[in-house]
């Protein structure tokens, strides 16, 4: 059964290129959200190679350059905008994406669909 839509943090909690925000999922390991080039992205916090959580300290998902997401266990590097692994033992694999969007100054974890398409206008 799909997880219901819920708020995971305030939009202001995610600075572009800054720390991420961890949150609990009902059916997976913890999730996390980051902001990259102005857009919020969220993933299951699990390395596709090692199965371990990525952050080395809570919310610290980026490498020393501040660009890539990095696995704290073995240093695999992931593109922040799509979760694709570009370096390390899981090269070619991807982080599991989660549907998120922003609404009214909040980051919303969605239920089943991706939120890349524009929202329909309200009533």
Residue 82, in any domain of the structure: yes
Note whether residue 117 is domain-resident.
Answer: no
Q: For residues 32 and 42, is the Cβ–Cβ distance under 8 A?
A: yes
How many structural domains are present in the chain? 1
Indicate whether 1 belongs to any domain: no
What is the tens place of the pLDDT at every residue in 108-121? 998 644 433 333 33
CATH of the domain at 37: 2.102.10.10
Range of the domain at 73: 6-109
121 within a domain of the structure (yes/no): no
Residue 123: is its pLDDT beyond 90?
no
Q: What is the mean pLDDT of the chain?
A: 87
Asked if residue 81 is part of any domain, the answer here is yes
The four Cα atoms 20, 25, 29, 33 give a dihedral, to 10 degrees, of -20
- Determine contact, residues 73/80, Cβ cutoff 8 Å: no
Q: For the chain, what percent of residues have pLDDT higher than 70? A: 85
Is 123 within a domain? no
Instruction: Indicate whether 58 belongs to any domain.
Output: yes
């Amino acid at each position: 059964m799909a997880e219901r839509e819920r708020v995971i943090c305030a939009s202001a909690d995610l600075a572009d290129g800054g720390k991420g925000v961890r949150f609990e999922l009902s059916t997976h390991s913890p999730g996390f959200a980051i902001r990259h080039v102005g857009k919020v992205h969220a993933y299951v916090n699990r390395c596709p190679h090692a199965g371990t959580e990525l952050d080395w300290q809570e919310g610290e998902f980026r490498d020393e350059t501040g660009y890539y997401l990095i696995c704290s266990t073995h240093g695999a590097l992931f593109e922040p905008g799509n979760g694709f692994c570009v370096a390390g033992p899981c090269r070619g694999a991807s982080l599991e994406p989660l549907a998120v969007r922003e609404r009214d100054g909040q980051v919303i974890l969605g239920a089943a669909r991706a939120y890349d398409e524009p929202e329909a206008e309200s009533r």
